Amino acid sequence: MSSSMMLRIKRVPTLVSNFQKEEGEEGSVRGAGCGRNCLRNCCLPGSKLPLYAFKKLNNCKAAAGEAEDVKEPPVAFLDSLLLGEWEERMQRGLFRYDVTACETKVIPGEYGFVAQLNEGRHLKKRPTEFRVDKVLQPFDGSKFNFTKVGQEELLFQFEASDDGEIQFFPDAPIDPESSPSVVAINVSPIEYGHVLLIPKVLECLPQRIDRDSFLLALHMAEEAANPYFRLGYNSLGAFATINHLHFQAYYLAVPFPIEKAPTRKITTADSGVKISEILNYPVRGLLFEGGNTLEDLANVVSNSCICLQENNIPYNVLISDLGKRVFLLPQCYAEKQALGEVSSELLDTQVNPAVWEISGHIVLKRKEDYEGASEANAWRLLAEVSLSEERFQEVTALIFEAIGCNTEASHEVRGEKPDVEPPPQPMDEEMDSLKGSHPAMVPV
């Protein structure tokens, strides 16, 4: 990977929807109804949006050695739909800047942290509209939420197929009764193809993970079939900015540093999900992988997240490797900020360490920090995000109790030398193909 190749950008304050800005401006003009072609009752009747219906794979058949007929999907999910729709919105000028002109570099070092310069954050930002010390908070319809976005920001509906086969409907009605899950653009993208997955958008669910929504996110990672498309989740208190259930996702054509970290197996759940501790990384966390079915993995991870939520522990989640690997990262940076325990040097960087930053894609807001970016500086910042070793072990014990996992058979308890597992190797051929197709991504 080369650290000398760069792209350029100048960013404005973070907004995920154009309506966020308009909502806060005085004297904004409204037409008939609300005049915004939104997802509420004033504008929804008669609305249509492409529908991608994914196939729920029958993993039990595959495990039993039974062959399944594999049909070509009616549309290539990755290029023809998500990126095609995303690029069409870019041509229409719906983004707040051109992300293909983003200044980004890979920082020299063992892990290859990725630094991006996002100038413009010194401007007045939209204030956070909820408490940052409570992970679970009720949905508040008076605050900004995704029912208020313009329908032009939506790309497609994403649902399980009724008949078990992949289907695509280019002009499907938006059914308020079924409350569809939708994929929308992030108008302030961090990277190419930056989108939001909003489960059951019309149900107005608060930002809290449940089994169904997390399984939906895993299906999206699986359907994308691209190792450089990852999904991320931020809880309240861990730098989520909107209290309406959503995941983020984008393409980055290099491995995230956390994906390169070695791990040590702790235990395996009854469903076959292996749980490991992340090693030699500044933020302590757990890695979940495997399972007899995708639903098994979703259940173990979502139950772990629910445990953290109910214990008011902020956390971030990274879904990696086509939905096969999930990183769960409890954090305490906002708490340290509130207690005055973060150094002024780090506070002055104005970096909010959410899932992408914790995973190693560091969004910097000052030219001086970008030019002086180093692995040591990235490590110093992320170390402040991490729980202490003692607290991390306490939180891990809470999680294992909640998911019914017994760690007595682990290497450490048995007194054996633990096996440190290297991360999987990146797929070089797929990296090369991505680099040629989408030059906006970080060059390698």
Q: How far apart are CA 173 and CA 416, in angstroms?
A: 59
Residue of 272, 20, 241 lying closest to 147 (CA atoms): 20
Element (H, E) at 114: strand 114-117
Q: Is the separation of the CB atoms in 68 and 62 below 8 Å?
A: yes
246 is catalytic: yes
Residue that has been written with the tokens 């769960």 in this structure: 328
In the chain the first and final C-alpha atoms are separated, in Å, by: 4
Strands (E), 253-302: 263-268, 273-278, 286-290
Separation of CA 265 from chain center: 24
Q: Is the separation of the CB atoms in 22 and 28 below 8 Å?
A: yes
Q: Is the separation of the CB atoms in 209 and 233 below 8 Å?
A: yes
- All residues at 6 or more sequence positions from 135 whose CB lies less than 8 Å from its CB, including other chains: 208, 235, 236, 237, 238, 308, 309, 312, 313, 314, 315
Q: Which residues pair with 182 in a beta bridge?
A: 157, 198
Element (H, E) at 174: none
DSSP string, 223-235: HHT-TTEEEEEE-
Q: How far apart are CA 103 and CA 378, in angstroms?
A: 17
Q: Is the separation of the CB atoms in 36 and 148 below 8 Å?
A: yes
Q: How far apart are CA 242 and CA 128, in angstroms?
A: 8
Catalytic residue among 194, 219, 246, 361: 246
Structure tokens at 356: 């992408």
Q: Which residues pair with 173 in a beta bridge?
A: 48
Q: Which residues are catalytic?
A: 246
